[in-house]
């Protein structure tokens, strides 16, 4: 009787969940088969009857399990899969693709390179780690020279230094190419500096060197003027004042009137002027290190603060933005390329 009832229930079950309900009804903890023996008084049964009862109950359980398994298999095969989510939803707005942007320092560098190439200068690559000789002695800064204190240095474990300026390339280039020579060396420099709106520990310079017969300060000023008018594409105020560098004689500082405050003084410039291009006539000692005949040749050199030039050109008030890694800085330049 219980078997027939089970078969009727299973016949009415058309989904796996309904078969499960039938299983619970018969074989669950309080199921009809599980509790089949509950009302039987075993004390009144003989040993033979007890044995038969147990056997019947086991057969009933096995029957139910078999029929339930069959029904589960059948309904699973026929049941529809759960509602499927569409894998492609054409109504979702697209994410679009973003264009990369060139770093503002790189943009100014490329512009500088093309201006200098137009004046016959070669653009040369150079190493960021220098020997002590290259960074200091080759440009006339011996070990005990006070000028070393002007550029606090990161020393590497192999006694090389992260270059504090690009000036080591002056002698390297003269040794390699000889005179006459016209070249620039843009690149990254490192100084152990306290950081503020106009000082970074990692920044870019662009060294330049021209060596030829009868080179004078007039050539130097002419090249600097051409450079600034091409880069800023407008009139800018500059001042030339004496400056000391052991590798030039005489030496100058070319300062740019601050484009943020118009020369009044602000957190970026301090006193209204931005120190931009130290320069001068190449010291004979540097020419000698480079193997150049100083009775025939003279030259000028400069070290443009490329990072500061980028600040002035693009109105970036704080140098720390460049190394901040904040993509919002770069995103602003996506359209400039």
* Nearest to ligand FA5 of 178, 197 (CB atom): 197
d(CA 272, CA 253): 15
Q: Which one of 33, 141, 301, 310 is in contact with ligand FA5 (CB under 6 A)?
A: 301
Tally of CB atoms within 10 A around 224: 21
d(CA 256, CA 276): 6
Size (the chain), residues? 337
d(CA 133, CA 328): 41
Q: Which one of 134, 186, 278, 299 is in contact with ligand FA5 (CB under 6 A)?
A: 278
* Nearest to ligand FA5 of 16, 251 (CB atom): 251
Q: Which long-range contacts (CB under 8 A, 24 or more apart) does 76-81 make?
A: 76/16, 78/14, 79/15, 79/16
d(CA 20, CA 138): 89
- How far apart are CB 280 and ligand FA5 at their closest, in Å? 5
Does residue 248 interact with ligand FA5 by CB under 6 A?
A: yes
Q: Which residue has the tokens 């880069």?
A: 231
Q: Which one of 75, 138, 167, 298 is in contact with ligand FA5 (CB under 6 A)?
A: 167
Q: Which residue has the tokens 């030829």?
A: 212
Interaction pattern, residues 205-224, with ligand FA5; x per rule: CB under 6 A = x-x-----------------
d(CA 255, CA 253): 6
User: H or E element: which one contains 186?
Assistant: strand 181-190
Does residue 165 interact with ligand FA5 by CB under 6 A?
A: yes
Does residue 121 interact with ligand FA5 by CB under 6 A?
A: no
Does residue 299 interact with ligand FA5 by CB under 6 A?
A: no
- Kindly indicate which of the ranges 56-64, 81-89, 259-267, 270-278 contains the residues binding ligand FA5, using the contact rule CB under 6 A: 270-278
Q: Which one of 67, 163, 283, 308 is in contact with ligand FA5 (CB under 6 A)?
A: 308
Pairing of strands 122-123, 181-190: parallel
Does residue 279 interact with ligand FA5 by CB under 6 A?
A: yes
- How far apart are CB 167 and ligand FA5 at their closest, in Å? 4
d(CA 273, CA 278): 13
Q: Which one of 303, 310, 312, 316 is in contact with ligand FA5 (CB under 6 A)?
A: 303
d(CA 305, CA 276): 5
Q: Enter the tokens of residue 50.
A: 């007890």
Q: Which one of 61, 74, 188, 199 is in contact with ligand FA5 (CB under 6 A)?
A: 199
Does residue 305 interact with ligand FA5 by CB under 6 A?
A: yes
Size of the site for ligand FA5 (CB under 6 A): 25
* Nearest to ligand FA5 of 138, 167 (CB atom): 167
Q: Which one of 185, 203, 297, 322 is in contact with ligand FA5 (CB under 6 A)?
A: 203
Phi, psi of 214 (to 5 degrees): 60, 35
**Is 162 in a helix, a strand, or coil?**
strand
* Nearest to ligand FA5 of 61, 199 (CB atom): 199
- Kindly indicate which of the ranges 27-35, 101-109, 210-218, 297-305 contains the residues binding ligand FA5, using the contact rule CB under 6 A: 297-305
Q: Which residue has the tokens 């290190």?
A: 289
**Is 269 in a helix, a strand, or coil?**
coil
* Nearest to ligand FA5 of 72, 160 (CB atom): 160
Binding footprint of ligand FA5 on the chain (CB under 6 A): 165, 167, 191, 193, 199-200, 203, 205, 207, 245, 247-248, 251, 275-276, 278-280, 301-303, 305, 307-308, 319
């Amino acid at each position: 009787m219980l078997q027939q009832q089970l078969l009727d229930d299973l016949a009415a079950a058309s989904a796996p969940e309904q078969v499960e309900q039938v299983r619970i009804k018969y074989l669950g903890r309080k199921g009809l088969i599980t509790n089949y023996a509950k009302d039987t008084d075993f004390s009144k049964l003989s040993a033979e009857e007890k044995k038969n009862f147990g056997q019947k109950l086991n057969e009933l359980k096995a029957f139910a399990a078999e029929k339930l398994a069959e029904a589960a298999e059948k309904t699973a095969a026929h049941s529809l899969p759960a509602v499927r989510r569409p894998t492609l939803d054409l109504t979702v707005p697209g994410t679009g693709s973003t264009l990369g942007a060139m770093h503002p320092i790189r943009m100014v560098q490329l512009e500088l390179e093309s201006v200098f190439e137009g004046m016959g200068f070669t653009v040369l690559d150079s190493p960021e780690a220098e020997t002590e000789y290259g960074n200091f002695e080759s440009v006339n800064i011996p070990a005990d020279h006070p000028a070393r204190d002007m550029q606090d240095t990161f020393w590497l474990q192999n006694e090389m230094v992260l270059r504090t300026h690009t000036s080591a390339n002056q002698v390297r280039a003269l040794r390699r190419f000889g005179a006459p020579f016209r070249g620039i060396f843009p690149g990254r420099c490192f100084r152990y500096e306290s950081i503020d709106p106009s000082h970074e520990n990692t920044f870019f310079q662009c060294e330049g060197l021209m060596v030829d017969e009868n080179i004078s300060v007039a050539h130097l000023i002419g090249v600097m003027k051409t450079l600034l008018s091409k880069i800023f594409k407008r009139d800018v105020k500059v001042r030339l004042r004496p400056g000391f560098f052991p590798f030039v004689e005489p030496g100058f500082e070319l300062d740019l009137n601050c484009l943020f405050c118009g020369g009044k003084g602000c957190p970026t410039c301090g006193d209204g002027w931005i120190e931009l291009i130290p320069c001068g006539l190449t010291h004979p000692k540097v020419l000698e290190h480079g193997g150049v005949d100083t009775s025939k040749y003279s030259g000028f050199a400069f070290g443009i603060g490329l990072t500061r030039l980028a600040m002035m050109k693009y109105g970036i008030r704080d140098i720390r933005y460049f190394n901040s890694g904040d993509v919002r800085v770069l995103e602003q330049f996506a359209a400039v390329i």
